Amino acid sequence: MITILSITEFLETHKSAPILDVRSAGEYEHGHLLGSISMPLFTDEERSVIGTLYKHDGREKAIEKGLEYVGPRMADMVRRARQIMADGNQIKLYCWRGGMRSNSVAWLLHTAGMHVIVLEGGYKSYRRHVLHYLNQSFQFNVLGGYTGSGKTEILKAMQQSGAQVVDLESLANHRGSAFGALCMPAQPSTEMFENKLYQHLIQLNPQKPIWIEDESKNIGKVFLPHNIHASLKSSQTYFIICDAEKRREHLLSLYGEASIHEIQDALERIKKRLGNEAYQSGCDMLKSKKLDQFCEIVLRYYDRSYEGLISKRSAEKVIKIDIPSHWTHNDVAQHLLSQYT
């Protein structure tokens, strides 16, 4: 049996069925449905050859070449699908537009006795669905503060206490500054970041407070959807203020394991904005391995940047909160939750 479902039906029904992405590995890596499993009908190279044939020699030649590629591995695809399906008899799948690739694999698995559910319009329809959702306006509780304030750790403590939290930096695999990629895994594409953000947001209740960290338009190499960023800037911001020594200690705990070479590369990215004198001082501190003093230079630079950004917001939208130096991140989280939710 082969069932074709719209994107809404595909996402909301048969939730226990595994999902196969039959596009190429490169397409999958760039962006996919969360939880889907890559089982490409063609490799990236094969897909390129077939596309060229289709363009220059027509559909029939392209199909012949596709069959030539797929024929020898059809049995393996069925075996793998059975392993993925485990004890069930339903399996979902999609390709780029819900066309020949998904229909071909659906036919193969159906012939092998499986109930196959195909996404109408393919991954392209899923992306339209995601972007439509992210294009709405949201009301957030925005957590702001100077670099090194531990905003991410405070959000995690809030989440552990049951609060609704969106950790953008975790979704982006980046801490947001020029140094944000240090000690972090590779970033996803902006497309995959949007998919992850959508999947997280739909699990939250928009009628209850949603806490999120203040961010610029980009987090490293990924970009926030326009309306998410606009919502950040228009929502109430809770700007925590803690002493510089504590922030310096926090930066050392985050980046202390990075190599001097990696830190130097990150410093290079803000050389122009930092100014020659501060940049050279930073280089000297790194060469001398005086990371405490290096952090002071970085904090001064980012403090000026934050002050400029926060000054552009209306005063009534920013609540500044002085944090006692002995408070832990959990103490700050509990204070915010008890006073501002």
Span 106-118, pLDDT tens digits: 999 999 999 999 9
Q: Which of 98, 132, 166 is where one domain is finished?
A: 132
318 & 267 share domain = yes
Q: Please write the tens of the pLDDT for every residue from 246-267.
A: 999 998 888 878 889 999 999 9
214 & 290 share domain = yes
CA distances from 78 to 3, 99, 181 (A): 18, 20, 40
Please identify every residue annotated as catalytic: 95
Q: pLDDT-derived band of residue 64, with 50, 70 and 90 as boundaries?
A: low
What average pLDDT is seen over the chain?
91
Secondary structure class of 142 (helix, strand, coil): strand
Q: What is the CATH number of the domain that holds 298?
A: 3.40.50
Q: What is the CATH number of the domain that holds 94?
A: 3.40.250.10
CA torsion, points 97, 105, 15, 124, in degrees to nearest 10? -10
230 & 313 share domain = yes
303 & 244 share domain = yes
Q: pLDDT-derived band of residue 196, with 50, 70 and 90 as boundaries?
A: very high
pLDDT in the model for residue 60: 67
Report the sign of the C-alpha dihedral through residues 60, 62, 63, 64, in that order: positive
> Domain residues for 88?
2-132
275 & 239 share domain = yes
Q: Where are the beta strands (DSSP E) in the chain?
A: 2-5, 19-21, 37-38, 90-94, 115-119, 141-145, 164-166, 210-213, 218-219, 222-223, 236-241, 318-322
Distance separating alpha carbons of residues 2 and 118, to the nearest angstrom = 7
The answer on pLDDT for 66 being more than 80 is no
142 & 116 share domain = no
The answer on pLDDT for 214 being more than 90 is yes
Half-sphere exposure of 277 (CA within 13 A, CB side): 1
Q: pLDDT-derived band of residue 52, with 50, 70 and 90 as boundaries?
A: confident
120 & 147 share domain = no
192 & 324 share domain = yes
Report how many domains make up the chain.
2
309 & 160 share domain = yes
pTM of the full predicted structure? 0.91
227 & 172 share domain = yes
17 & 121 share domain = yes
The residue among 213, 58, 45, 203 whose CA lies nearest residue 133 is: 203
